[in-house]
Amino acid sequence: MAVLKAFKAIRPRKDIASKVAELPYDVMSSEEAREIAKNNVYSFLHVDKAEIDLDKNINPYDKKVYEKANENLNKMIDNNILVQDQKNNFYIYRLTRNGKSQTGIVGCTSIDDYIKNKIKKHEYTRKDKEQDRINHVDICDANTGPIFLTYKYNEKINNIINMWTEKEPVYDFTAADGVRHEVWVIDGDETIKNICDLFKNIDSLYIADGHHRAASAVKVGIKRRKENPNYSGYEEFNFFLSVLFPHSDLNIIDYNRVVKDLNGLSVEEYIVKVSEKFNVDVYEGEGAYKPSYKGTYGMYLNGKWYKLAAKKGTYNSDDPVDKLDVSILQNNLLAPILGIDDPRTNDRISFVGGIRGLGELEKRVEKEDMGVAFSMYPTTLEELMNIADAGKVMPPKSTWFEPKLRSGLFIHKLR
CA angle 105, 106, 108 (to 5 degrees): 120
Residue 328 has pLDDT above 90, yes or no: yes
pLDDT tier for residue 367 given thresholds of 50, 70 and 90: confident
Tens digit of each residue's pLDDT (9 = 90 or more) over 63-75: 999 999 999 999 9
pTM given for the model: 0.91
On whether the CB atoms of residues 310 and 295 are closer than 8 A, the answer is: yes
Asked whether residue 316 carries a pLDDT value surpassing 90, the answer given is: no
The per-residue pLDDT for range 260-292, each reduced to its tens digit, is 999 999 999 999 999 999 999 999 999 999 999
HSE of 1, CA atoms in CB hemisphere, 13 A: 4
pLDDT of residue 318: 85
Number of other residues whose CB lies within 10 A of the CB of residue 310:
20
pLDDT digits (tens, 9 = 90+) for 112-157: 999 999 999 998 888 899 999 999 999 999 999 999 999 999 999 9
Structural domain boundaries of the chain? 4-251+402-413, 255-377
Name the percent of the chain lying above pLDDT 90: 93
Query: What pLDDT sits at residue 369?
Result: 84
CA distance 361 to 332: 21
Tell whether the model's pLDDT for residue 4 goes beyond 90. Answer: yes
The C-alpha atoms of residue 343 and residue 164 are separated, in whole angstroms, by 44
Strand arrangement of the beta sheet that strand 304-310 belongs to: 278-282, 304-310, 296-301, 372-375, 255-259, 349-353
As a whole number of angstroms, the longest Cα–Cα distance in the chain is 69
Per residue in 243-257, pLDDT (tens digit) is 999 999 998 999 999
Task: Round the average pLDDT of the chain to a whole number and report it.
Answer: 96
What is the amino acid identity at position 222? I
Residue 238 above 90 pLDDT? yes
What is the band of 1 on the pLDDT scale with cuts at 50, 70, 90? confident
Identify whether the C-beta of residue 94 lies closer than 8 Å to the C-beta of residue 101.
Answer: yes
Fold observed for domain 255-377:
3.30.1760
User: Is the pLDDT confidence value at 345 over 90?
Assistant: no
Strand partners, 227: none
